[in-house]
């Protein structure tokens, strides 16, 4: 059994999430305290968030004038991760409103088989031409509900 399979057995809800990614921990991800730097976790969550939008076929390239922007985030660091390791990052939308959504990301250490971080992020549709937030385009709502029908 590989480490991801045993992690899924330990945290069975992982299998039901719409998007997850695996990344390698790099030696340079660690800081002077000899564990992965706190900002690296947030980059991993950002990578998973963009993968979620890509999977949902939501354009994040600003070509439509409206794109998702990070409004705020919080992070609860649970256990450290060190090199070498592989991480599994899951992401899902936990709340959808007309002008914002909340996403939750979780970072798991595959080597140590534990949850290392939980992060919540508020994403706002932002009109980059007019410089203000805007309601979600209907196409985004449909795409999100296709990926997560319970929204």
Residue 7, domain CATH: 3.10.129.10
- Running DSSP on this structure, what letter comes out for residue 86? E
Rounded Cα–Cα distance for residues 12 and 59 (Å)? 31
81, part of any domain: yes
Q: What is the pLDDT of residue 26?
A: 98
147, part of any domain: no
Tell me the β-bridge partners of 90: 20, 106
Q: What is the pLDDT of residue 111?
A: 96
Domain total of the chain = 1
151, part of any domain: no
Residue pair 29/100 in contact by the 8 Å Cβ criterion: no
Residue pair 115/106 in contact by the 8 Å Cβ criterion: yes
Tell me the β-bridge partners of 73: 121
Tens place of pLDDT per residue across the chain (151 aa): 788 888 888 888 888 899 999 999 999 999 999 999 999 999 999 999 999 999 999 988 877 789 999 999 999 999 999 999 999 999 999 999 999 999 999 999 999 999 999 999 999 999 988 999 999 999 999 999 999 999 9
Domain extent for 108: 3-130
Q: Is the pTM of this model over 0.85?
A: yes
146, part of any domain: no
116, part of any domain: yes
Rounded Cα–Cα distance for residues 127 and 73 (Å)? 20
């Amino acid at each position: 059994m590989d480490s991801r399979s045993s992690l899924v057995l330990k945290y069975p809800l992982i299998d039901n999430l719409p998007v997850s990614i695996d990344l390698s921990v790099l030696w340079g991800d660690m800081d002077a305290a000899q564990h992965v730097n706190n900002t690296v976790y947030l980059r991993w969550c950002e990578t998973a968030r963009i993968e979620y939008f890509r999977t949902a076929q939501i354009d994040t390239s600003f070509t439509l004038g409206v794109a998702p922007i990070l409004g705020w985030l919080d992070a609860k660091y649970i256990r450290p991760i060190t090199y070498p390791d592989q991480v599994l990052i899951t992401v899902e939308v936990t709340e959808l409103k007309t002008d914002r959504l909340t996403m939750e990301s979780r970072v798991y250490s595959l080597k140590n088989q534990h949850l290392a971080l939980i992060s919540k992020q508020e994403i706002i549709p932002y009109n980059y031409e007019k410089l203000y937030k805007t309601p979600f385009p209907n196409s985004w709502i449909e795409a999100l509900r296709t990926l997560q029908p319970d929204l």
